[in-house]
Every structure is written in structure tokens, then in C-alpha cells.
């Protein structure tokens, strides 16, 4: 999957598909370009996410490296993210439509589930990217006003994050602080995350 193999020490405590531990968020991207069809396959998986009343509130605005939108999105990133993310093959703005028309409603009403559902869609995107041999890395470290202006975000939409997508490249070109963090990170124990019954 990469010319720069990395040791993945992640070990699930319960049996799961390896895609969940194989997916991680690198910062060293190669020069490989992504085709629009390849990116649409990744977004297609997001399209099939579950959502409240099947409202499908997720909306994506994307730029392939070289597109006119790519640079303004890169410039909306904070300084830390600008060190690595502009090398990605594509940038995807993950947004959601805040209104929906549930069954029986006569007009659009606020959709209380738009953020939850769009989170599910982003997770599907990330997992499909792994299945397709790509890496994805979400970023909340952006100037939301700048990024929203760059994509002409409608008022009834919310921008959640930018996602960098690319192939893994040479980690040795990363600044020291980022290179040290360039490996799959662990998770909290399941017993810290899930209780049988009530929370204490
Ligand atoms: C909404 C969101 C915002 C994030 N923002 C940033 C960011 O601004 N910069 C960054 O380097 N990583 C960012 N990350 C990546 C997380 O740090 C990373 O997903 C987390 O440490 C788990 O690591 P993994 O994805 O490699 O499993 C973000 C992830 C999410 C989901």
C-alpha cells in the first residue's frame, strides 16, 4: 500500500475487520494524484451512510490538487496543518445541510441529527478510502470562515472539517515534531468507552 512501510501495533481486543485498525491518519503524503472517479468511489461510500429519516444531510465540496479551489482550501488551514496537508491529492470539505423535511412536515425544519449523520458519512468515507488503498486525514484546525467562503457555503449548511486524501509518502520529509507522531495511535480500553447498563 505504500513504499514506506510502517509498523502498525494496533491490536483490537475483540474480533473486528482489519480495515478499522488499518485506517489511520498520516501526514506524509506522496505526489500521487487521485482521479475524480477514484475520489467519487470514496464519496460514494459516504453516500450510503445511515441517517435520521434518510435525510442524507452530508454535503461535500472537493478539490483535486491543481483545481482552482485547492489553494484557497489549503490557505484556510492553520499553520500546523499547512505543513503537510497541501501535499494531499485531494481536499474534501465535509459539510451538512442543517434542515430536512421529515415525514408529515410541510416545510423544511431544523434537522437535529445533521451532525451525527454527517459524522457517520465521514467515517464511511474514511473506511472506503482505506479499502481503496488511499489514506484520509480529517482536519478541524482550519479557519472555518475562510474555508466556508472558499466553497461558497450556503447559510443553511455547516462546515465540519476538511479531509486530506492521498497516498502515503516519505515521512522523513516531515518536520521533526510531526515525524515523531507519524504512526497509528492507540485507543482507550473498551471498558472506558462502553458500560453494560447505566453510567456510574
Ligand atoms: C473532526 C476531526 C478533526 C481533526 N483535526 C485535525 C487537525 O486539525 N490536524 C491534524 O493533524 N489531525 C486532525 N485530526 C486527526 C485526529 O487527530 C486523528 O484522527 C486521531 O488522533 C486518531 O488517529 P487516527 O485517525 O490515526 O486513528 C482530526 C480528526 C477529526 C475526526
CA–CA distance from 107 to each of 50, 98, 112, 114 (Å)? 22, 13, 15, 17
Predicted confidence (pLDDT) per residue in 92-140, tens digit: 999 999 999 999 999 999 999 999 999 999 999 999 999 999 999 999 9
- Give the contacts of 26 (CB within 8 A, at least 6 positions apart): 135, 137, 168, 171, 182
At 46, list the grid cell.
Answer: 459516504
What's the confidence (pLDDT) of residue 16? 97
**Shortest-distance atom of ligand 1 to CA 184:** 26
Determine the pLDDT at residue 1: 52
Fold for domain 36-169? NADH Oxidase (3.40.109)
Query: Could you tell me the residue ranges of all domains in the chain?
Result: 36-169
Q: How far is CA 21 from CA 13, 42, 45, 140, in A?
A: 11, 18, 18, 22
29, 32, 66, 83 from 72: Cα distances, Å: 19, 20, 11, 15
Residue of 28, 140, 163 best suited for mutating to test ligand 1, as the one with most atoms within 8 Å of CB: 140
Residue 109 contacts residue 179 (beta carbons within 8 Å): no
Q: What is the pLDDT of residue 3?
A: 77
Pocket of ligand 1 (CB under 6 A): 24-25, 81, 138-141, 161, 184-185
Question: Which regions in the chain score pLDDT beneath 70?
Answer: 1-2
**Chain length of the chain:** 200
What's the count of helices (H) and strands (E) in the chain, helices before strands?
Answer: 8, 6
Q: Write down the pTM of the prediction.
A: 0.97
**Residue 123 contacts residue 60 (beta carbons within 8 Å):** no
pLDDT at 185: 95
DSSP 8-state code for residue 163: E
Mutation pick for ligand 1 pocket among 16, 139, 158, 185 (CB with most ligand atoms within 8 Å): 139
Amino acid at each position: 500500500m505504500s513504499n514506506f512501510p510502517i509498523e502498525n501495533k494496533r491490536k483490537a481486543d475483540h474480533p473486528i475487520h482489519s480495515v478499522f485498525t488499518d485506517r489511520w491518519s498520516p501526514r506524509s503524503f506522496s505526489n500521487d494524484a487521485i482521479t475524480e472517479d477514484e475520489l467519487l468511489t470514496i464519496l460514494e461510500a459516504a453516500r450510503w451512510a445511515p441517517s435520521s429519516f434518510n435525510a442524507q444531510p452530508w454535503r461535500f465540496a472537493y478539490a483535486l490538487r491543481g483545481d482552482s479551489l485547492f489553494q484557497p482550501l489549503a490557505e484556510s488551514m492553520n499553520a500546523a496543518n499547512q505543513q503537510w496537508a497541501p501535499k494531499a491529492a485531494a481536499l474534501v470539505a465535509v459539510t451538512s445541510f442543517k434542515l430536512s423535511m421529515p415525514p408529515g412536515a410541510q416545510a423544511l425544519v431544523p434537522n437535529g441529527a445533521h451532525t451525527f449523520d454527517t459524522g457517520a458519512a465521514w467515517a464511511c468515507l474514511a473506511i472506503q478510502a482505506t479499502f481503496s488503498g488511499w489514506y484520509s486525514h480529517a482536519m478541524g484546525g482550519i479557519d472555518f470562515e475562510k474555508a466556508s467562503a472558499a466553497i461558497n457555503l450556503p447559510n443553511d449548511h455547516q462546515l465540519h472539517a476538511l479531509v486530506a486524501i492521498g497516498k502515503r509518502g516519505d515521512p522523513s520529509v516531515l518536520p521533526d515534531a510531526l515525524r515523531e507522531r507519524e504512526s497509528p495511535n492507540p485507543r482507550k480500553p473498551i471498558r472506558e468507552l462502553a458500560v453494560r447498563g447505566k453510567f456510574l
